[in-house]
Structure formats: structure tokens, C-alpha cells
Structure 1
Amino acid sequence: MDTYLTLIRQATVYAPKPLGKKDVLIAGRQIIAVGDDLSLHGNLPPIETIDANGLLLFPGLIDQHVHMAGGGGEGGFHYRTPVISLSHITTAGVTSLVGVLGTDGVTRTTRELLATANALDFEGVTTYIYSGAYQVPTRTLTGMPRSDIVLIDKVIGIGEIAISDSRSSHPSEQDIAELASEARVGGLLGGKAGVLHLHVGDDDTKLQILFDVLKKTELPRSVFVPTHLNRNPDLLVDAVRWGLDGGFVDVTSGIRPDDHDHVSVKPSKAIRKLLDDGVHKSLITMSSDSNGSSPIFDDNGTLIAMGIGSIATLWEETRDLIVEEEVPVDVAVSIPTKNVARVLKLGHKGTIQAGADADFFLTDSEYRIQHVFAKGQWMVEDGKPIVFGTFENAGGVPGAPDSKDHSGDKNAKRGRPMISPSEDDPDDFPDRDERQKKSRRKDYCC
């Protein structure tokens, strides 16, 4: 019989508020109790008990900026980045993510993004998307960003719209005001966040267009969510000004100094500066820009280097915020969890309490991820993924020298791996719950 109840015993819980040692009981996809000693008696369904003594338990990370269907393309077709895989998401401690397009609104489409989001949701994590790309007029599903938000469940805002960037459409104040209005009204009608998520580039104008729009309209500042604000020190100064005025500021964990990038501010240090300069802790968020391309241009606009964002940086920089910058654990953990849930109006996410989604992860005392649960399913055990995406091959691309012998079950007639219908009903393919049941077959297509 499949396990329905899971009891996490004696973990040190950060909700993100520190709660001390607690038991956490989950049923299906929801946390149903958090307490000192959740002893269970009577005629109950099967219970799986996990001894978490010595481990720290945190809400699952919410990454509000992921190129889940791939991104990039600056420099040619071969620079188009790949689709993100389920195990890359879960091993990073991320249990909810928002998909974006980016520079390429030509070969990448919002339909493709929506399809990828639906696939990842089916496989075990919570997904949303923004309607749009860098360009203005932007890319939509229904012809209007507002109706995308109202009519399509997964669309929670508009983005990523590029400002202060040579790759943008150089939108006017009127363009930004109209998009923000579309996002706000769409959110009101659809009961969603209705945010305008903004890519901010290296141009000297920085956030000035947002300050100007707010002076000329009655739009609330909470509609605007500018990101990549640690791209350079001058932009970070403007971000402080924006945050002190009550605006949300999003730092990008995937933008950090390396051999080619000598101007960006390390994310953990950028957040430390925001806090030290007086920006309220609840206004600061962090996202990864995972699977997006990271082009480096010289002063003449020539591409000189290309990287790809990693979703793993989100927890890496949060950990550095705790260990290196000595920010209190609950403050640091709130930045990619509770604060993002507040921005995106996801009341059931970003916290550990009865009634919240069972999205959380456990680390050792050095903040190394050990176990991850998403929607109540055990996705990562002892630091290793135990649930994989439908066509994800843990050993590499099927047929490659480093690949496993097979992905899924080998079909003798066809001579290649196949996904088989359910034995109970040969007309039905296995559904999500069957694929994620506790047997967790690691070779179930893939």
C-alpha cells in the first residue's frame, strides 16, 4: 500500500522564522501539522517516518526567474540554451519556479514556455510563467497580456520586459505604463499577482524610467519587479534608492564575478549592501536566471564570452549570505522563499505551517542539501535525485558514450527505450501519482 502520511521527526525548523526542533506531518501534498511531538495513534494510513534529528528544515525555494524552456541565442543558433531538467531543479532545493522567455522572442514562444511549465508541474514541481519577452510590443498567448493573465492559470504576470539594455526595444515611459496597467488589471481580474517583471541591463539609465513612470501615474510600486540589480555597482546604488522608496528589488544569483565578468556584484554581498543601506528585508528577493545565456560584451558591443545560468546558485548564494555575510538565517532564507511568495501572492508557498504546500528541504549543519520534498513527494534523498523527468537520463543523452544502457523499458520489437502503458489499463499511460509513488523507480523513463 502506498504511503499517504509522512512524519519528519525532530528537525530544526525555519519557517523561515526559527521554530526550534519540531515534528512536521504531511498528508498528500500539504503540511497538516507542525508540533513538538506529533505522536499518531489509531487506525491510520501507512506512515513513513524520517528521523531528521541534526538536520535543518527550510521552505522550498521559489525561483521567480527561470528560462525553463531554454533561452539565449545571442551569437547564433548554437547559443540557444537547453530546457531545464527536473532533477536540476530539485537538487537545488527549488520546489516552485516561474518561467520566462528573454532576448529571443522569435524562435522561442510563450506557447513553448507554457508547455514546458505544464510538463514540469506534471513531473512534480510547481510552475508558473510570465507572458512576454524582451520586446515591446511583447509576445503573448491570447493577443493581450491582460487576457493571458486572466484566462490562463499559469500566467501570473508580464515579463521579462527589457529596459536599460541595448538588446531591448527601448520602451518609452508610455510603453512601460501600459504594460504595468495590463499586468495590474489582469491580476485584479484573475485574482493573481499581476506583476511586471523587468530585465534591467547595463545602460546608464538604470532604473530611471521606473521612477519617471511612477511620478506620472497612480500605479502602485508593487506592480514593478526589476531584476538583475547586482549587474554592476552603479545599478545596485539605484536599486537601493528604489528599495528605500518601497519597491521590490530582485538580485540575480547567477550573476556574479568570474574570469570574464569583472563588474557584477556577488549576490550575497549585494544583498548585504541593500540591508546595510536600509532597504527593508521584506522587499529583497533573489532569483537565479537559470538556463538563460550570460553573454559578455566588450565596449563595442562585440560578444566575447558566453555562459549559462545555474539554478544551483540560488541556494549557494543564500548559504553565502548566512555563512560569509553573517545575515541571520531566517532573514537570509526569507529572501528566496517567503519574500518571493509575497511578491507573487502565493500564500500557500514559502512557509512551514499547517495548510501550506508540502514544499521543503533539509540540510546538514553546513547547509548542504540532503532531502527535498515538493508537493509532498520525496524528490531528493541523501543529496541525490530519486525522481527524474520523463525523458531525463541520469547518465547523459541516450546513445551517448556516458549514457545508461537504457531509458525506460527496452522494447524488443522496436529496439529502443519506450514508455509503456499502464498494466491496469493498456489504453492509459501512467499518471503523475503513479510515476511518483514511493517505489520511485529510477529507471522509469530515465
Structure 2
Amino acid sequence: MPVLTLIKNAEVFAPKSLGKKDILLGGRHILAIADDLSMHGSLPELEIVEADGYYAFPGLIDQHVHMAGGGGEGGFHYRTPEISLSHITTAGVTTLVGVLGTDGVTRSTRELLAKAQALDFEGVSTYIYSGAYQVPTRTLTGMPRSDLVLIEKVIGIGEIAISDTRSSHPSEQDLAELASEARVGGLLAGKAGVLHLHVGDDDQKLSILFHLIDKTELPLSTFVPTHLNRNPDLLEDAVRYGKKGGIVDVTSGIRPDKHDHVSVKPSKAIRRLLDAQIRPALITMSSDSNGSSPIFDDRGKLLAMGIGSIKTLWEETVDAIVQEEVPVETAISIVTLHVARILKLQHKGRLKAGLDADILLTDKEYKIQHVFAKGRKVVENGEAIVFGTFENAHDIPGSPQSNDESGEKSEKRGRPMLEPSDEDEDDFPDRDERQAKSRRRHYCC
């Protein structure tokens, strides 16, 4: 891994347009952005990335990902899988926030935290919300507030379900208490302390939130309702909420298809919110990746089941730019700068010297070419070059994909996938050493 990386001649959106610039990366940070950062003399550990004809954007921040899996509506076989590192990075996402969702029984906040730690080690930045759909909600320490204060990766409470038959139908008092826990926990820990709310299809829409903000002094910035493009009526409620100064989060993974004839396409929902004069800084978008997407009929019968994809986040951002004519700076801010500000991730969401080197390079058709996460190139020429530990099952002895040995006795089965290194004090290769062993495929842990 090079000590320094120089990105040359990219058209930079920080997300504000800066024109054609060079970007110098060192370690996990951006060291400088300037017109010409050509290096004079011999620097053998400098990698130069020629980016003439490319756009440079901040890496995307996805604030709603079922990183440890989700779902379960319809039975155990509908439990969705964990997300893999290369799925995240090839989608242009470099920072993500994990949620549990419907299933707070067979899945736990501990499991979510462990997955977040694993992905962080493998190369992207991760955070989680403490909780699940239900109230009282699921926690690590027994109290949502203490989760926020004591667990570094916990930045809020959620996703708590409202206006949904799968919720526990929390009262205004229940939500007020949870919002207070989130706010005070955030104040004590210097974190965002948001209450992240799943909003379902019920006719109540955002009514409980309107009542709550009228009856309490809780700041609107405490509440982050999501899935607001689920249907046109809910989107209109979101317009009312946004006009009051509330944050409105569109879900890129909820969009019309052969089973869903109700939802509003995310890029069109963004256009609607902007046309309604909602302040752009209040508009965000997240993917709901790896969550289940059940379609029920009027009687509650399950008709179809899908799974959210993290790739929709960039797809709908591009559609907002190309199809809905949303200015590039505005569209990019919705999935970078605005999210970072709301979640108080001061080192994320912008391209600026001193901040994390999370960078997305695309061609002029907005096709992802290169991705840097925490200063390390993880996608090159549109293909992942850094992979999670078990992403290539063919290399795992005893896996179903290792057909050469299936059904036969093998002494290699069950053995460690990675060999020890004599050079490491702990007798196990560190991350950078393991990743340096292969230019074609890297394994991060």
C-alpha cells in the first residue's frame, strides 16, 4: 500500500464544485487539494491516479443498512444475509450506519455491533443505531442512553417503527422518552443522538411526529424519519414535515417495480421535496440495503419478498441528476454532506484537507471507476480490489463451492485460511501485510 496517493486532474465536487484539481492523500486523510500538486524528485511510495475526464465526489454515506442482515417476515428462510465489503465499496459507499429492523428476537444489537466492527476493520467506516422496531427497544447495556455514552459506534437509537402493523404501536410518550434518551445520550457523548424512525404504510403516516413536536421542546434535529417515498400520501406528509424544519429521508431501495405499484421513485421524491421549497439541507437519502422488502395485500398476506440493494443509493442519485435535473452539488450533498451534518460526522461528507480520504471517482456518465475508503483504494476500474475475509468461498476449504474436495476427506478442512507470519509479534499477519500479498484480490482479515 503506497504511503501517498496523488489523484491528478479530477473535476472536483467537494460537494461544492471546485473545478479541475489534484488531490493528495496520505494515510487515511486528504493532505491537500490544489491546482497542481506535482511531486518533484523521487518518491517511490507515491501512487499516481490519472483522473483527467473523471469527477471526484465524497464517498457516499448510507445511514440505513441492515449490515448484519434483516427481515424474517414470512419465516426463517426469509432472513436476509449480511452485507459484504465489496458490495458496499463498488456501490460507492464508504461510510454506513447499521440497523436491526423487524427482527429483534433472533438478531441482536450485539450481533450488529460485531458486524460493524468487522466491516470497519476490513476498510470502511461504520456506526450503528441501538434498538429495533419494538418498544421497549433492544439495547447493549440495558439503556439506550448508556449505549450512546459508553459504546463508541452507537450514534443514535433506531430503527423504531411507527405507522406500521409490524411496530409495537408506540405512544407519543414512548417516543418522547426515546427521543429524550437519544438527545441526552448524544449530549453526554458528543454525538448526534438521533432517533431514527421507520415509517410504514399505515394511514397515520407522520401524525405522531406532528403531535410530538407540538407538545414537547425536543429539537426537530433529534428525529430522522425514513422510507418517506413509500407512497404518495406519505410523501405529501413529508413535505408538510419538511416545511416545519424536519429532516426527511428518502429510501433509494423503495421504488416501483412489478410488485410495487404504490411507491414514489426516489429521484422523483427528491425532485418533489425540492420543488416544495424544502431546504435542501433537510433532505437525505439512504438505501435500506439488505433489509427485506415484503409486499402485503390488504389482508396482510405476504405476496412477494425482495431484498434491498446498496447499489440503489448511487443509481437514484444519478437519476436525480440526469432525469430530474437536480443540480450536481445538491444531489451529491443529499448522500454525503447533509448526512454527515445530521449525524455529526465532522470528518466525513466533504473533500477537504484534513478530513477522511473517502473519495468516489466516476466517468462523465457517472459510472463508478475508483473508490478510496479511509485513504485506501478499494475499487479500481469499476472492480473491487479489496474483499472481506470470506467473500471468495472457493478459497475456503470445505465450503460447498470448493467442489474439488466436496464429499472427500481433507486434512485442509477446518484449518486457518490465513497463514501465520514470522515477522509479526502476535504471530499473525496484520491487515496491510495480508492485503499487499495480492494485487488482484485482497483479503482484509
Same fold (TM over 0.5): yes
Residue 215 to residue 264, structure 1, CA distance change in 2 (3 Å): same
- Give how far 1:400 is off: 7.0
2: CA distance between counterparts of 1:397 and 1:263?
43
Render the CA deviation track for 1:166-194: whole Å, top value 9, x for unaligned: 00000000000000000000000000000
User: Structure 1 stretches of 5 or more lacking a match?
Assistant: none
What letter matches 1:85 in structure 2?
Answer: S
Name the counterpart of 2:84.
85
Distance 1:55 1:394 in 2: 34
State the shift of 1:420 in Å.
1.5
Counterparts of 1:209-228 in structure 2, within 5 Å, are 209-228=208-227
Deviation, 1:44, is: 5.2
Find the aligned partners of 2:229 and 2:187 in 1 and give their Cα distance.
31
Looking at structure 2, the residues matched to 31 and 445 of structure 1 have their Cα atoms a distance apart, in angstroms, of: 22
Q: Is the 8 A contact 2:397 2:414 kept in 1?
A: no
CA distance in structure 2 between the partners assigned to 1:249 and 1:234 by the alignment: 14
Shift of 1:395: 6.5
Paired position in structure 2 for 1:33: 32
1:396 Cα offset (Å) = 9.8
SS at match of 2:386: coil
CA shift at 1:439, angstroms?
4.7
Change (3 A) 1:27 1:215: same
Equivalent position SS for 2:7 = strand
Identity %: 76
Tell me the number of residue pairs that the alignment of Structure 1 and Structure 2 aligns: 441
Aligned to 1:191: 190
Aligned-residue offset at 1:284: 0.3
Residue 158 (structure 1) aligned with residue 129 (structure 2): no
Aligned partners of 1:398 and 1:404 also within 8 Å: no
| Other-structure match for 1:98 | 97
Residue 390 of structure 2 corresponds to residue 375 of structure 1: no
Partner residue, 1:123: 122
**What secondary structure is seen at the aligned counterpart in 1 of 2:303?**
strand
What per-residue deviation string (whole Å, max 9, x for no partner) do you get for residues 23-74 of structure 1? 0000000001000001224675621111100011100000000000000000
C-alpha spacing 1:12/1:395, structure 2 compared with 1 (3 Å): farther
Tell me the residue number matched to 2:353: 354
Partner AA of 1:191 in structure 2 = G
CA-CA distance at 1:3 after TM superposition? 1.5
Shift of the alpha carbon at 1:393?
1.2
Letter in structure 2 aligned against 1:27: G
Distance in 2 between residues matched to 1:265 and 1:158, nearest whole Å = 27
Of 176-185 and 429-438, more deviation after overlay is shown by 429-438
Shift of 1:215: 1.1
Q: C-alpha offsets along residues 379-433 of structure 1, whole Å, 9 cap, x if unaligned?
A: 0000000000011117699767766979xxxx96548672222231384322333
Specify the code of the residue in structure 2 equivalent to 1:53.
Answer: D
Question: Could you say what secondary structure the match of 1:319 adopts?
Answer: helix
TM-score (norm 2): 0.95
- Determine helix, strand or coil for the equivalent of 1:7: strand
Deviates more, 1:388-397 or 1:68-77: 388-397
Residue number in structure 2 paired with 1:21: 20
Q: 2:119 aligns to what SS in structure 1? A: helix
Comparing 363-372 with 414-423, greater Cα deviation is found at 414-423
Letter in 2 for 1:140: T
Distance 1:445 1:11, change over 3 A: closer
User: Gaps (5+ residues) in structure 2?
Assistant: none
Alignment pair present for 1:107 and 2:106:
yes
Corresponding residue for 2:431? 432
Paired with 2:32 and 2:403, the residues of 1 have a C-alpha distance of 41
How does 1:44-443 map onto structure 2 within 5 Å?
46-393=45-392, 413-414=412-413, 418-425=417-424, 427-437=426-436, 439-440=438-439, 442=441
Q: Is the Cα–Cα contact under 8 Å of residues 229 and 251 in structure 2 kept in the other structure?
A: yes
Q: Deviations for 1:248-284, whole angstroms, at most 9, x for unmatched residues?
A: 1000000000011000000000000000011011110
CA contact (8 A) 2:435 2:443 kept: no
Q: C-alpha separation between the residues in 2 aligned to 1:135 and 1:396?
A: 40
Partner Cα separation in structure 2 for residue 414 and residue 172 of structure 1: 53
C-alpha distance after superposition, 1:305-331 (max 9, x if no partner): 000000000000000000000111111
- SS at structure 2 position matched to 1:261: coil
Which amino acid counterpart does residue 79 of structure 1 have in structure 2? Y
**Matched residues in 1 for 2:404 and 2:64: separation?**
35
Return the letter of the residue paired with 1:123: E
Classify 1:293/1:371 alpha carbon distance in 2 versus 1 (closer, same or farther; 3 Å).
same
Amino acid at match of 1:336: V
SS at match of 1:78: helix
Shift of 1:224: 0.1
Give distance in 1, aligned partners of 2:168 and 2:395.
38
Counterpart secondary structure, 1:418: coil
After superposition, the Cα gap between the structure-2 partners of 1:425 and 1:46, relative to the gap in structure 1 and judged at 3 Å, is closer
Kept in 2, the 8 Å contact 1:3–1:438? The answer is: no
Q: Distance in 2 between matches of 1:443 and 1:249?
A: 38
Summarize the Cα distance change of 1:258–1:395 in structure 2 as closer, same or farther, 3 Å threshold.
farther
SS of 1:321's partner is helix
1:253–1:286 contact (8 Å) kept in structure 2: yes
Structure 2 SS opposite 1:421: coil
Q: Which amino acid aligns with 2:419?
A: S
Cα distance in structure 1, aligned partners of 2:38 and 2:275: 44
TM-score (norm 1): 0.95
Query: How many angstroms apart in 1 are the aligned matches of 2:413 and 2:102?
Result: 40
| Residue identity in the other structure for 2:93 | V
Cα–Cα, structure 1 residues 250 and 206, in superposed 2: closer, same or farther, change >3 Å? Answer: same
